[in-house]
Structure 1
Amino acid sequence: MNGDDPDEPVSRSAMPEIDQNTPVAKVAALVSQALEAAGIEATLSGGGAVSIFSANAYESRDLDFVTSAGGPAIERAIARLGFHRRSRLAREFDHPTSPWYVEFPPGPLGKL
C-alpha cells in the first residue's frame, strides 16, 4: 500500500494527503473510498466524471457525487481528507490545498 494507485484501498488510520498536485482521478478515488468506508453510497457524475474519462479534454474544477446521504454524514466522512464545508447549509466542500472542490447533489439518479 503506497498511496499512488487510485484504486488501492485507503487505510482509515493513514489517509493520504491531498495537495495542489493531486490529480482529479486520485481525489475522486480518495473521496469515494472515504464515503464507502463511512457506509455512504455515492455516484460520481457531472463535469468531474467527464474530466476523468476524457483525460481532461473537458476540464471541470468540481467532483459531483450524487447521494441521498445527509450533509453531516458526508462532512464526517471526508473531513479526514482535509475537506471542509463551504457554508453551514451547503453540500459543497473545499480543500485548503487542492484546486478541486467536492459537491453532493441529492439523489437518486434517474433511470431510463
Structure 2
Amino acid sequence: MANKREFKKYVEAVGASACEAMMSTYYNVDGVNKDSIAKSIELTLGAVGAAKSNADVTFDKGVKAFAGLKEYSVAKNKFYKKLFVKIKEDFFNSIDEAIKLFNSAIPAEVKEQYKNAVAE
C-alpha cells in the first residue's frame, strides 16, 4: 500500500465485502449453521479492527537516536515495511480462518448448487 490511509481503506473494503457475503447467506439460505456464520462475521470484524488499529503504530525513535538523517530514514522505512508485512499476514490469516468457518457452516447441497450455478 502507498500509505496508511489507503491500507485502512483496503482492509475495510475486504472486510465489508466478506461480511456482506456472510450476512447474505445468513439471512437468505436455509439450513446453514447460523452460529458458525455469526462467529465468522465476528472474526472478520475483529481482523479488520486489529489491522486498522495496528496500522496506527508509529516509529518510536527520533533523528537524534541515529548518526544522521539518512540512517534514521533507512531504519524508519525498514520498520514500516516489516510492520505492514506482519499486519497483512495477520489480517489475511484471520480472514482465511473466518472463511473456512463460514464454508463449514454451509450445507453440502447448497455448495453443490453454487458450483452448478457457476459452471453454467
Alignment TM-score, normalising by the size of structure 1: 0.33
The structure richer in helix per residue is: 2
Q: Which has the larger radius of gyration?
A: 2
Larger RCO, structures 1/2 (Cα 8 Å, 6+ apart): 2
